[in-house]
Structure 1
Amino acid sequence: MPNFALKVTRLGFSLLQSVSPRLAGKAAFRLFCLTPSAKPKGAKARAAHSAGRAFLQSAERIELRLAGGRRAHAYRINGGAVGRRQRYLVTHGWGSSMEYMIDLIAALAASGAEVIGVDFPGHGRAGGRFLHMGLAVKTIAAAEARFGAFDAAVGHSFGGAALMVAAAGMLPEVDAFSAGKIVTIGSPSEMKWLFTGFGRMVGLGRTAQAALEDKVYRLTGRKLEDFDAGKAAATMARPMLVIHAEDDKEVSANHARRYAASGGSVRLFWANGFGHRRIVSAEPVLSEVQRFLADDSIKKDAEIIPLFELPGKRASL
């Protein structure tokens, strides 16, 4: 956020929370969920977006409808073939879209696998300007309902965290995502740090910050602290590959270390030098993902163990 806009925002929240911390927290949540414009900024971003759009012209496009009138968008590569083949799901980070994930999609599709890439609400062809973790998890559930079970899922940044939240069955009314293998790239291991940093940035006081975090509970039925993907990794009986760069300036490498220390079936691969964004297109990363997914000795060896053992039905999607 530019300095002038941030100063105005902080002033606005200062005035609002002096009147009603609850309303300030509610407004802060709306701002937190506001997604960036889908229009690429800068020459490099425009070139990458243009190349991505050209690549995806040949993909099948499917709209995924979610509850509340929200919608997501899916691209399918290598779909419709007769016979059994691997099926992979790809999810993007905050402010991104499938146009920026084509190197990864192409690498996965090269094996002949069916590859499904989804644009979350507020991103890419899905349209809109609003997203939170609950909507991302429901998008993943909608993709599984539409295309069937996935052999593996690969997610970058927020998209990787969403895969973990979905796989752990953290939302009471959404069935746990059943992918056999999970790959996260530059992904956070828990969400509270984001809310704490955001609240500090816009100048929320203690009461308004509590109101902001309470919105998570009201929407999902879970406290913010419950969205701990690092802890969830230890509860899921499935192979997981964690890829991160120690020079990542957006998501600390400590999140990758938390995953690795979880005690679960986690393999850690350092992709140093590629930062947070270039990492999804880096050749060593693509090769490691392909190697991990092709390794038949790495198999899911037990049923999924949801992080929360609660009765529930799949939400209306």
Structure 2
Amino acid sequence: MTNFALKVTRLGFSLLQSVSPRIAGKAAFRLFCVTPSTKPKGEKAKAAHAAGAEKLAGAERFTLRLTGGGRAHAYRLNGGALGRRPRYLVTHGWGSSGAYMGDLAETLAATGAEVIAVDFPGHGRAAGRVLHMGMAVKAIAAAERRFGAFDAAIGHSFGGAALMVAAAGMLPGVTAVLPEKLALIGSPSEMHWLFKDFGKMIGLGRSAQQVLETEVFRVTGRRLEEFDASRAADAIRRPVLIVHAEDDKEVNANHARRYAAASDHVRLYWANGFGHRRIVGARPVLDAITGFLAEGDADKAAEIIPLFDLPARRMSL
């Protein structure tokens, strides 16, 4: 938000919660779920989007219908080939799209794998202007119904957290999507901090904040504190690669440390210097991920740090 828009929003919520904290909290949740414009802002974003879109220009395109309503979009590279090949799912972060994951999708496709890159509702080529974790998990489930089981799934930021929630079957009524391997790039390990920061930003009081967080249960069937992806990493008993930059200014590096401390199935790769966005196309990161996914070749992923080497780096949130 611009400073002016934020001031107006804070004033509006101040007045609204003075009348009804319940209405204010529900309105805050609706605002929280509104997706940003799909048009890239700034020259760097435009260039990155154009480059990614070019890499996906030859991909097949599909509409995915979500259980209970809503639609997502999917790109498929290397589809329809004869014979068995690995099938990988790629998910993007909030305010991003499959196009911004173009470098990763192209790199994975170059290994011969079938690659499915999803646009969540309200992002990329998918219709709508609303997204929450429940919808993202349903989009992942819809991708598996359409294309079949995935050998691995790779997600950035919000998309990585959604993959972990989907793998653990945390959403009531939605079948778990559990690939053989997962790689999460700059992904949060839990979401409570995000709701707290959002409520603080728009000036919610305690009562309205509680309503905001309760809305999560209403739309997903799970309380906000139950969406702890780091615990899910231990529950799924699958190899997980966590890629994070200690200079990430959007998702604190402590989230990566929480993942690493959660399970001996987790490997941690520090991609320092690439921040939160450039990390998805950084060559060392692409090499680490392809190495991790290669059968019997996980040890060749560049500088992956086993869990037993991490004690000095562990921190709690």
Smaller-chain TM-score range?
Answer: over 0.9
More relative contact order, 1 or 2 (CA 8 Å, 6+ apart): 1
Map residues 15-30 of structure 1 onto 2, 5 A cutoff: 15-30=15-30
Moved over 6 A (4+): none
* Correspondence list, 1:9-158, <5 A: 9-158=9-158
Shift of 1:234: 1.3
1:208-227 alignment runs, 5 A limit: 208-227=208-227
Partner SS state of residue 103, structure 1: helix
Counterpart secondary structure, 2:52: helix
Deviations along 1:153-192, one digit per CA (max 9) or x if unpaired, are 0000000000000001101101111211000000000010
SS in 1 for 2:117: strand
Deviation at 1:68, TM superposition (A): 4.2
After superposition, what is the alpha-carbon deviation per residue over 1:277-314, rounded to whole angstroms, capped at 9, x for unaligned?
A: 0000001000000000004266xxxxxxxxxxxxxxxx
Judged with a 3 Å threshold, the aligned counterparts in structure 2 of structure 1 residues 68 and 177 are, in CA distance, closer, same or farther, namely closer
Q: How many residues of Structure 1 are paired with residues of Structure 2 in the alignment? A: 298
Q: Is the 8 A contact 1:89 1:115 kept in 2?
A: yes
Separation in 1 of the partners of 2:200 and 2:88? 38
Distance 1:50 1:244 in 2: 25
SS at match of 1:150: coil
Q: Which residue pairs with 2:233 in the alignment?
A: 233
Question: Would you say the 8 A contact 1:153–1:182 is kept in 2?
Answer: yes
Partners of 2:12 and 2:201 lie apart in 1 by 13
- The sequence identity of aligned pairs, in percent, is 72
Alignment partners' CA distance in 1, 2:40 and 2:60: 23
Q: CA deviation at 1:139?
A: 0.2
1:237 and 1:54 map into 2 onto residues whose CA distance is 37
Shift of 1:127: 2.2
Matched AA of 1:82: L
Partner SS state of residue 251, structure 2? coil
Contact 2:157–2:188 (Cα < 8 Å) also in 1: yes
- Correspondence for 2:303: none
- TM score, norm. by length of structure 1: 0.92
Cα deviation, 1:77-98, whole Å, max 9, x if unaligned, reads 0000010000000000000001
| Paired residues of 1:88 and 1:152 also in contact (CA < 8 A) | yes
When normalised by structure 2's length, the TM-score is 0.92
Alpha-carbon separation, structure 1, partners of 2:88 and 2:263:
25
Contact 1:159-1:187 at 8 Å conserved across structures: yes
Unaligned 5+ residue runs, structure 1? 299-317
- How far did residue 61 of structure 1 move? 0.2
Q: Is the CA contact 1:236–1:264 (under 8 Å) kept in the aligned structure 2? A: no
* Superposition CA RMSD, Å: 1.0
Whole-angstrom CA distance in 2 between matches of 1:267 and 1:234? 12
